[in-house]
Amino acid sequence: MSFDPFSDLPSMMPGHVWLAGAGPGDPGLLTLLAAKALSEADVIVHDALVNEDCLKLARPGAELEYAGKRGGKPSAKQRDISLRLVELAREGRKVLRLKGGDPFVFGRGGEEALTLIEHGVPFRIVPGITAGIGGLAYAGIPVTHREINHAVTFLTGHDSSGVVPDRIDWEAIGRGSPVIVMYMAMKHIAAISANLMAAGRSPDEPVAFVCDAATPSQKVLETTLGRAVEDVAASGLEPPAIVVVGEVVRLRPSLDWLGALSGRALLTDPFADRHRKDSA
């Protein structure tokens, strides 16, 4: 007897909306519940960061609606997207709102859920693997490591108006968070790096930019806080990108498992230099 991994999972109902995360890119990182929703939904309202390979799992005949929001490009207004979900649900359709990463991590899932509540539309939240964890893992960078950090801060590099958020306490974060993971920060890295160095971070602190994380086109730039602006400009890399600041970036030569699949020789002791200094 064959095993059906979906058999004990809840099914989508007409007139309901599922707010689901698609993960950072690789379709293999979809949760079982998100994959089941793709196979059952009548209409899938997806954003710009959902990998097209994930959408190939949609059931035949499902309607795909693009509702992406990209900085600096013409985009649907958030209120219009939220009301569109209400409209589709009221038509008695099974509605999947599919977002890259996790809908509750800088994904505006909370805003959409509140609109559904306002209009009496039942919904389910399906968490996904956020790019700030999964995308960095595909680059061989852990967000925590016992010998490096016991805390990590996740922040967004721009607010709803498209500028660096002025409500972020850069001095406190710069002083108190050993690892900083930033979404939507690449275009504002000049201001952000200046804020962090003004808060006391060293210009020599390692920084990595992971572009198109967890996709076949993934690219990683390793640099430092002091050289980040210059190196990003020279690289020609473009968003979407996850940016990480902190000593965990130094683990990449040992943990770049994707690079190892292509022949990269990984270091067995990423802390060799530290150990030599400690024993000197």
User: What residues are annotated to the active site?
Assistant: 47, 69, 184
Count other C-beta atoms under 10 Å from residue 34's C-beta.
24
Q: Dig out the tokens for 77 from the structure.
A: 């207004």
223: part of which helix (H) or strand (E)?
strand 219-224
Long-range contacts made by residues 161-167, C-beta under 8 angstroms, separation at least 24? 162/71, 162/72, 163/188, 164/188, 164/191, 164/192, 164/195
Could you give the CA distance from residue 153 to residue 180 in angstroms, rounded to a whole number?
5
Whole-angstrom distance between the N-terminal and C-terminal Cα of the chain?
Answer: 63
Dist. CA 11–CA 240, nearest whole Å: 32
CA–CA distances in Å: residue 266 to residues 25, 140, 182, 210, 242: 24, 11, 26, 19, 23
The values of phi and psi at residue 43, to 5°, are: -140, 140
Residue type, 26: D
Residue 140, amino acid: G
Whose tokens are 């929703």? That residue is: 37
Residue 237 to residue 229: CA distance in whole angstroms: 12
